[in-house]
Structure 1
């Protein structure tokens, strides 16, 4: 899609031809490295205007420094989260909750949902998570000495945990993964069809749970109250859609990038095999180095931001993959150091909208790596194959074929 004209208030010298969707390194390609491509932005000004940095071709201001991104993400009064990014694909205007709500409404729903994703709740889920990882890996080992990691492990593992949280079986997993892929990475027609399918599914599930509660997340949502009243149908939909979309892609993608790194860097692989207690710390470094999500905010008023004339309605991009390669924030940011400490990365965002499911995501990633490394012998990328990577609103990796002796 052609980008929209640069607004008159943007100085020409602040415009940079960059896009997380279309710039070199962002295209879908074998053995690509979109993270290295965005790391080069730290040679540019700390804030610039990109004429085409959203899926629908809109321009955004791009914040490159981690400290500046934190300023934006913390200031919800000036930089709003309410974009209805999912609903707008359907010509509608309801928010994903709580992601696209601003305070004080955000805090009301965040308080409602926080207990479901607390460290204590995640600890209860841990045996189920570990059992699922072991079952999948043992099945892979019994079948072959190679596998397509994304298809055979990362997606089945992450999505099955999320489906269990929703109270659903694994039977339609591939359908749901397909919806997520089309929504996050597909062209307009596929994206709209996927959005319609997801909304229809969430609405149908909510109606079913109102009639027959089942002790799962959707039963909780339809029975919950805020400010002394039940949730509206639109609010239940907004919560359900956010959980659905968040559970389909990001954890699986993180595991894929992690295993690709370990397959290419055998010293790191051997370190974690010989000292598995390091996996937790190492996973934080891998989250930093291979962050995958861009956050977009909308200016609620005119503001001068470090010399940038941001105007009301302008989009502001806070891409985690850029901030987490900031040399002002991290020593040797393009070196993946699995022993790095004081790792102040923003892979799960920052401020009031910090990822609600970060505790669960962290445990899934760590458990997935622990069980993979303890069961699969020394692995490498299979000869004659090349992982395909791509940029976008959420970075991705596919066709990751690993083999072992």
Structure 2
């Protein structure tokens, strides 16, 4: 599995820890992948993880938040250009702006930033809240338990994002299936999902060139850079990235948050009695239950903070590890919903800080507010156990909650 240990990697720096395969990372009932990831802080601040990508490649892994920030803020040395989606199809084009490096990154980021600005998110707040209320009211009148991911987190967050993109909500299950196969499936499943997503984005772009509408894809096909329309692969790169980004990560965050509140009645009671604390609590939950790891590719040979990194080496910056760093957070494995000055990196750092962070944050806050205001005190249903997993994006499934 994967490549042998590269010649330049000292054997004493090699570890079998992996965010995909180590204990607590595989699909297990009542798992704690975040706690499992945090245990690396008992060891060295950098090591070479032998099998730390979906295809089993080795990566350097930085455990300290300050070292991860140095990597993420230095795109000249640590590139984002991996064409990870296109490579599943045998192609070579970047997800935009995620896999672009400066200066091209800044050009496309400036084009897209206004669509995700705080002002734009505020304008969407009423419709986001309406979607949350509709779903949670249906849950509250239909019984005294539900499977949170299937019944609430996924329909809510994906519904918001499909509305944002101008996509049909009735295909939600199909879209989510593609995203799960792409992010968590095997090689064959990833390739098939990638092709389905690409065909859908290409068809939507072609339709919007002929029949413009007031939606995201119309904006993309009509946008101009340097007085020219975007090329086909540029439209693809933007469309695919935003399509995939909205289908998994925010739903997973809400799932982990509700699982925490179900297991911690004091925290649940606190947010019920003082709902104004939800905004602050959301930042702590983002810190404690971060879901994404970033990979960068070294553009040159460099001895970086004790690691002999060579051109082409992968460097992993895992948010769930940085955000449990004892050098940055007091009692990092204690989830303190009153924690202030919470400088977490759940949305990454540097020029590639998450484009949709404002939208994601508001979705989580609104989702928690409406769930807590409509659903009585809840707990994990007796006889059930949520299933968690690590990987490129951490996730939770089979989260069955019940209430009186």
TM-score, structure 2 as length reference? 1.00
Structure 2 counterpart SS, 1:26? coil
Note if 1:18 corresponds to 2:14: no
**Residue 200 of structure 1: aligned partner:** 199
Looking at structure 2, the residues matched to 158 and 56 of structure 1 have their Cα atoms a distance apart, in angstroms, of 28
Distance 1:278 1:41 in 2: 31
Q: 1:318-339 deviations in whole A, cap 9, x for unaligned? A: 0000000000010000000000
- Aligned-partner Cα distance in 2 for 1:247–1:49: 31
Supply the distance in 2 between the matched residues of 1:384 and 1:148 (Cα, whole angstroms): 13
Q: How does 1:363-382 map to 2 (within 5 A)?
A: 363-382=362-381
1:227 deviates by 1.6
User: What is the deviation of 1:306?
Assistant: 1.4
- In structure 1, the residue matched to 2:146 is 147
Structure 2 counterpart SS, 1:318: strand
Task: Report the equivalent of 2:236.
Answer: 237
Which aligned pairs between 1:15-94 and structure 2 lie closer than 5 A?
A: 15-94=14-93
Q: Following TM superposition, by how much is the alpha carbon of 1:169 offset from its aligned partner in structure 2, in angstroms? A: 2.1
Deviation larger for 182-191 or 377-386: 182-191
Is residue 354 of structure 1 aligned with residue 353 of structure 2?
yes
Corresponding position of 2:127:
128
SS of corresponding position for 2:247: helix
Secondary structure of residue in 2 paired with 1:208: helix
For the pair 1:316 / 2:315, whether they are aligned, the reply is: yes
Match of residue 265 from structure 2: 266
Take 2:306 and 2:176, find their aligned partners in 1: how far apart are those partners?
Answer: 43
Unaligned stretches of 5+ in structure 2? none
Residue 403 (structure 1) aligns with: 402
Cα distance, 1:168 vs. partner?
A: 1.6
Q: State the aligned residue count.
A: 404
Consecutive aligned runs of 4 or more in structure 1 exceeding 2 Å deviation: none
User: Could you say which residue in structure 2 is the equivalent of 1:219?
Assistant: 218
What is residue 98 of structure 1 aligned with on the other side? 97
Unaligned runs of 5+ in 1: none
The answer to whether the aligner puts 1:279 opposite 2:292 as a matched pair is no
Distance 1:122 1:355 in 2: 14
CA distance in 2, matches of 1:306, 1:377: 50
In the TM superposition, residue 165 of structure 1 has moved relative to its aligned partner by: 1.0
In 2, the alpha carbon distance for the partners of 1:8 and 1:91 equals 28
Task: Using the TM superposition, give the Cα deviation of residue 141 of structure 1 relative to its aligned residue in structure 2, in angstroms.
Answer: 1.1
RMSD over aligned Cα, in angstroms?
A: 0.5
SS of the equivalent of 2:84 reads coil
Q: What SS does structure 2 have at the residue aligned with 1:86?
A: helix
Give the Å deviation of 1:188: 1.1
**Secondary structure, counterpart of 2:297 in structure 1:** strand
Quote the Cα distance in structure 1 between the aligned partners of 2:290 and 2:132: 22
Helix, strand or coil: the match of 2:48?
A: strand
Aligned to 2:158: 159
Deviation at 1:213, TM superposition (A): 0.5
Question: How does 1:288-307 map onto structure 2 within 5 Å?
Answer: 288-307=287-306
Give the whole-Å Cα distance in 2 for the aligned partners of 1:8 and 1:94: 30
Q: Secondary structure at the residue paired with 1:304?
A: strand
In 2, Cα distance between equivalents of 1:306 and 1:98: 28
| Distance apart, 1:394 and its partner CA | 0.3
Q: Distance in 2 between matches of 1:45 and 1:275?
A: 41
Alpha-carbon displacement from aligned partner over 1:62-96 (angstroms, at most 9, x marks no partner): 00000000000000000000001111111111000
Q: In structure 2, what is the Cα distance between the partners aligned to 1:100 and 1:200?
A: 20
Question: In the alignment, what sits opposite 1:333?
Answer: 332
